[in-house]
Amino acid sequence: MRTQVAIIGGGPSGLLLSQLLHRAGIESVVLERKTKDYVLSRIRAGVLEVGLVDQLRAAGAGARLDRDGIIHDGTVISYGDEQIRVDFTEHTGTHVTVYGQTEVTRDLYDAREAMNGNFAFNVEGVAIHDTDTNTPFVTYHVDGSEHRLDCDYVAGCDGFHGVSRATIPENVRREYEKIYPFGWLGILSETPPVHDELIYASSDVGFALCSMRNENLSRYYVQCEITDSPDNWSDDAFWEALKRRIPEEHATNLVTGPSIEKSIAPLRSFVSEPMRWGRLFLCGDAAHIVPPTGAKGLNTAASDVHYLSQALIQFYTANDSECIERYSEKALARVWKAERFSWWMTSLLHRFPDQSAFDIRMQQAEVAFLRDNTSAQAVLAQNYVGLPY
């Protein structure tokens, strides 16, 4: 089989890339190691930058998002009982949209299937060959049968543990990583959100986040030990921990209920350079990871898709390879800014095991500066709604 672009990974970044290319007349095949149902069962965050929303609309996958997405014009940063509202609209003229990543993925599958998109599920043993030549190809197995996919380019959208990044030789790759000494215990509950905007809460006993999926589905997180297990937490213990970390006003109004999903996410910052090796490109988690504090994971993957889709469209429609040559440079420039913002938010709001009294006072001074300085709030807002592509 032959196609123009082989896309490894059937998550949102691979699907969005495939859809944008299709609408520009460029063929692709998406290879996914799991089933569609499995991909759609994964619970992920859902704060979308304006750039991602615009891309989904351009991909023909924005109708349900426009109908059901929740517009957020700001967010709340709290330190103890003190609350600072950062107004996105005032500082940037735009907003973010709360819409679950699972729903984004579902919409993209629907859009691809409506255009007879070419998928292969349950693929095993994926190997990427000859990307440093003009004739790359991908081999894989489905149900014990070997397949070969010849292509012009390969897009690695297969996540942190995928084969794409490992295909780039070790003597070419340079990796940067920071592992944070805590995790997030998160639950999903069929309860109304405690507030109509996200609350990022810092307290003497750790961090918490109050988020939502819709008016009757809430997502909450508390900072926990990296070695902890969800089995150690009853629902009651979780709710009590959350109440201790958020302002009393919201703790009093919190509606609790049984969790319908409970898990612990580790936090890491990670970047692999370069994001291009010959005719292989890395997108999203294959190249970089951010802690979820700044809501940048899916959004940073979407910025990669923007740069890569534009580069491939320019090549196929105008025979111009300049953007292909500069893909890694452009993508990484924005990635590192997102890494900086996510690292800053994480450092500002969490309790660290080796934190001294001086470190805590520095956190408090940083929050006070944010509270009193509109320019600092504008910088936070600009980063949160998404830097321009």
Per-residue confidence (pLDDT) for residue 213, from 0 to 100: 86
Q: Look-up: residue for tokens 């109304």? A: 192
Q: Look-up: residue for tokens 């969790």? A: 259
- Tell me, yes or no, whether 120 and 44 share the same domain: yes
**Residue 169 resides in a domain:** yes
Q: What is the mean pLDDT of residues 355-366?
A: 96
**Residue 356 resides in a domain:** yes
Per-residue confidence (pLDDT) for residue 223, from 0 to 100: 98
User: Does position 73 have pLDDT exceeding 70, yes or no?
Assistant: yes
Q: Identify the weakest region by mean pLDDT among 2-6, 38-42, 178-182, 255-259.
A: 38-42
**Residue 193 resides in a domain:** yes
For residue 55 the two structure tokens come to 């891309």
Q: Where are the alpha helices (DSSP H) in the chain?
A: 12-23, 36-41, 50-58, 63-68, 88-92, 101-114, 164-167, 235-245, 248-253, 297-318, 322-325, 327-349, 357-372, 374-385
Residue 46: band (very low, low, confident or very high) from pLDDT cuts 50, 70, 90: confident
- Tell me, yes or no, whether 230 and 295 share the same domain: no
Using one digit for the tens of pLDDT, what is the confidence trace for 93-132? 999 999 989 999 999 999 999 999 999 999 999 999 999 9
Per-residue confidence (pLDDT) for residue 179, from 0 to 100: 97
Q: Look-up: residue for tokens 């959208």? A: 157
- Tell me, yes or no, whether 54 and 129 share the same domain: yes
The CATH code of the domain that includes 147 is 3.50.50.60
285 by DSSP, 3-state: which?
helix
- Tell me, yes or no, whether 195 and 113 share the same domain: no
User: Does position 43 have pLDDT exceeding 70, yes or no?
Assistant: no
Q: What is the mean pLDDT of residues 63-70?
A: 96
**Residue 86 resides in a domain:** no
**Residue 81 resides in a domain:** no
- Tell me, yes or no, whether 151 and 9 share the same domain: yes
Q: What is the mean pLDDT of residues 149-177?
A: 97
Q: What percent of the chain has pLDDT over 90?
A: 96
Q: What is the mean pLDDT of residues 182-197?
A: 96
- Tell me, yes or no, whether 105 and 167 share the same domain: yes
For residue 193 the two structure tokens come to 């959100």
Mean pLDDT of the chain: 96
**Residue 110 resides in a domain:** yes
**Structural domain count of the chain:** 2
- Tell me, yes or no, whether 158 and 221 share the same domain: no
- Dihedral angle over CA of 151, 154, 158, 164, nearest 10: 120
User: Does position 146 have pLDDT exceeding 90, yes or no?
Assistant: yes
- Tell me, yes or no, whether 209 and 319 share the same domain: no
- H/E segment holding residue 84: strand 82-87
- Tell me, yes or no, whether 164 and 273 share the same domain: yes
Q: Is 310 left (phi over 0), alpha (psi -120 to 50) or beta?
A: alpha
Residue 41: band (very low, low, confident or very high) from pLDDT cuts 50, 70, 90: confident
Residue 44: band (very low, low, confident or very high) from pLDDT cuts 50, 70, 90: confident
Per-residue confidence (pLDDT) for residue 214, from 0 to 100: 86
**Residue 91 resides in a domain:** no
- Tell me, yes or no, whether 320 and 370 share the same domain: no
User: Does position 351 have pLDDT exceeding 70, yes or no?
Assistant: yes
Q: For residue 240, what are the domain limits?
A: 180-267+351-385
The CATH code of the domain that includes 190 is 3.30.9.10
CA nearest 98: which of 55, 69, 56? 69
pTM for the full predicted model: 0.95
- Tell me, yes or no, whether 189 and 321 share the same domain: no
- Tell me, yes or no, whether 208 and 307 share the same domain: no
For residue 384 the two structure tokens come to 């949160």
Contact 360, 71 (CB under 8 A): no
Contact 185, 259 (CB under 8 A): no
Q: Which residues are annotated as catalytic?
A: 72, 200, 292, 296, 384
For residue 336 the two structure tokens come to 């590192």
**Residue 83 resides in a domain:** no
Residue 42: band (very low, low, confident or very high) from pLDDT cuts 50, 70, 90: confident
Q: Report the distance separating Cα 183 and Cα 4, nearest Å.
A: 41
User: Does position 335 have pLDDT exceeding 80, yes or no?
Assistant: yes
